[in-house]
Amino acid sequence: MLIVMKFGGTSMAGAAKIRGSAAIAIDAARQHRVVTVVSAMDGVTEQLLDLAAAAASGDNAEAQRLLAVLRTDHEAAATELGAVDAIREVLKKLEHAVAGVAAAGSLTPRLRDSIVAFGEVLAARLMGGAMNCPVLEGQEAGIITDDRFGEADPLMETSMLQVRRTVEPLLARGPVVVTGFIAANQHGVRTTLGRGGSDYTATILGAALRADEVWIWSDVDGLLTADPRVVKDARLLTHIGAAEAVEMGKFGAKSMHPRALEPAAQYRLRVRMRNTFKPEGAGTLITSDAPMDAAHPVRAAQALKKMALLTVGGAGMVGRPGTAAAMFDALAVARVNVHMISQSVSEAGISVVVGEGQADQARAALQRALLPAGYARTIDVQEGVSIVAVIGPGMKGTPGIAAKAFTALAEARINLIAIAQGSSELSISVAVLESAGADAVRALHAAFDLSTTR
């Protein structure tokens, strides 16, 4: 088979774990053709973002401190993995890039991409040393994107052609390591694919190379019916559909980002989520044609924490076309990600749920766009909110799901702040106080008997 393997940050956290990840890839390469995609070492992306910010603000002392930490950690790992020269070469390039940011005195999205990408480059060099195989950066492998720095979109037709031309000949000679998360635009300027970017790299490569499977290695066994830290009897889902995985991908850091599943769904890739530290487990298989479980139309109960609810209200909204358009245009211009939308039938109020970190930004954008034009009279913000959802492909066309969910929440004395259901009917979401989020998940998990699903 041809397998694309992606190892996340927790699988790359230091020489011992990198060696373990490399052993998994090397073992598979004895029987299959293998492309290995790697994320930055755990915590390095955040360090690079802090480094870029320090350099741009002129805080040279902090920039040098962070550079020293990165140098120490990576050189220590490189000494054990036989990649010292390669790592020192990359670190010199990082120092030059940081000096460039300091000279510019500002941090544009393009400059931020140029710095943050070094995490994956360093990790790939370490993995290449451990596996003794060629290393390609994303753009060298052939992944080309648009100019949307920070969250670039791949130009799929061009990328697929270039990846086949570049990577397939190398695979004939053995395994290949490719950096996750990073690519380049058509002018060769480095870009990044944003959140979930390394998973995205893996599925892009999988689609281009017509891989038999894409394996996403992390520190969890696969996708579960709920967060096991919240629900003790959460169960592993052994086989789910791509659409279901997209819904689940919106909840929790241990799920694949929905963008990464787009190539998987479009090109009918088989994707497995597996545990690096329990490689004997089969994990969760994600396909476009997963079997339905008639006994469990709901397959998971999930929560998204640290949210804020913004409610736009006013009698002037009733019957006035354009209010919603003005509202969402303002949020889009402010680059605020909306996780949930709820509107009353009276049209006198529209509520959106955004991340707490974007609440002030969202409120300011809505105030500028809506209040002077008379679209709304009030914009209220409630922080400390969680979105709780039940998810499952069998929900579509199955009566009584909402009634069962709301009954379970009522019996658990959970107050619902807002309710939303997508047109796909694959999920029902409610906004609750964050203090009630865990209880809400447990109530829904029990109500739908998810501890017995597989």
* List of domains in the chain: 2-218 (3.40.1160.10), 300-452 (3.30.2130.10)
Name the residue among 380, 384, 388 with its Cα closest to residue 310: 380
245 has pLDDT over 60: yes
Share of the chain residues as helix, strand and coil, in percent rounded to the nearest 5: 45, 20, 30
* pLDDT band, residue 416 (cuts 50/70/90): very high
What pLDDT is recorded for position 347? 58
What pLDDT is recorded for position 252? 57
List the structure tokens of 390.
Answer: 């039940």
What pLDDT is recorded for position 348? 65
* pLDDT band, residue 253 (cuts 50/70/90): very low
What pLDDT is recorded for position 195? 80
Residue type, 90: V
pLDDT tens-digit readout, 262-284: 888 889 999 999 999 999 998 99
The alpha carbon torsion through 234, 235, 241, 246 (nearest 10 deg) reads 30
What pLDDT is recorded for position 254? 60
pLDDT tens-digit readout, 297-353: 899 999 999 999 999 987 666 666 778 888 999 999 998 999 999 877 655 678 999
Above pLDDT 90, what percent of the chain?
A: 75
**Averaged over 116-123, what is the pLDDT?**
96
Query: In 314-343, where do the E strands start and end?
Result: 338-343
- By residue count, the chain amounts to 454
The alpha carbon torsion through 46, 49, 54, 56 (nearest 10 deg) reads 180
Question: Residues near 388 by Cβ (< 8 Å), separated by ≥ 6?
Answer: 301, 302, 303, 304, 429, 430, 431, 432, 437, 440, 441, 444
CA dihedral for 83, 190, 118, 21, sign (positive or negative): negative
Round to whole Å and give the CA distance between 314 and 359: 20
Round to whole Å and give the CA distance between 221 and 273: 7
**Averaged over 20-26, what is the pLDDT?**
97
pLDDT tens-digit readout, 99-109: 999 999 999 99
The secondary element (H helix, E strand) that includes residue 185 is strand 182-185
173 has pLDDT over 70: yes
Round to whole Å and give the CA distance between 439 and 412: 7
> What are the CA-CA distances from residue 56 to residues 1, 90, 104, 118, 159 (Å)?
47, 20, 7, 17, 32
pLDDT tens-digit readout, 37-86: 999 999 999 999 999 999 999 999 999 999 999 999 999 999 999 999 99
Give φ, ψ of 274 to 5 degrees: -135, 165
* pLDDT band, residue 373 (cuts 50/70/90): confident
List the structure tokens of 364.
Answer: 């300011």
126 has pLDDT over 90: yes
29 has pLDDT over 50: yes
What pLDDT is recorded for position 202? 96
Inter-residue contact 174 to 149 (CB < 8 Å): no
What pLDDT is recorded for position 374? 77
* pLDDT band, residue 189 (cuts 50/70/90): very high
139 has pLDDT over 60: yes
Mean of the per-residue pLDDT values of the chain: 91
> What are the CA-CA distances from residue 233 to residues 106, 122, 228 (Å)?
49, 39, 7
Of 7-21, 90-104, 209-223, 240-254, the range with the lowest mean pLDDT is 240-254
* pLDDT band, residue 385 (cuts 50/70/90): very high
The alpha carbon torsion through 429, 433, 434, 438 (nearest 10 deg) reads -70
Inter-residue contact 331 to 366 (CB < 8 Å): yes
Per DSSP, 4 falls in state E
Name the residue among 164, 272, 198 with its Cα closest to residue 156: 164
List the structure tokens of 192.
Answer: 């990044």
The β-bridge relationship of strands 182-185 and 190-192 is antiparallel
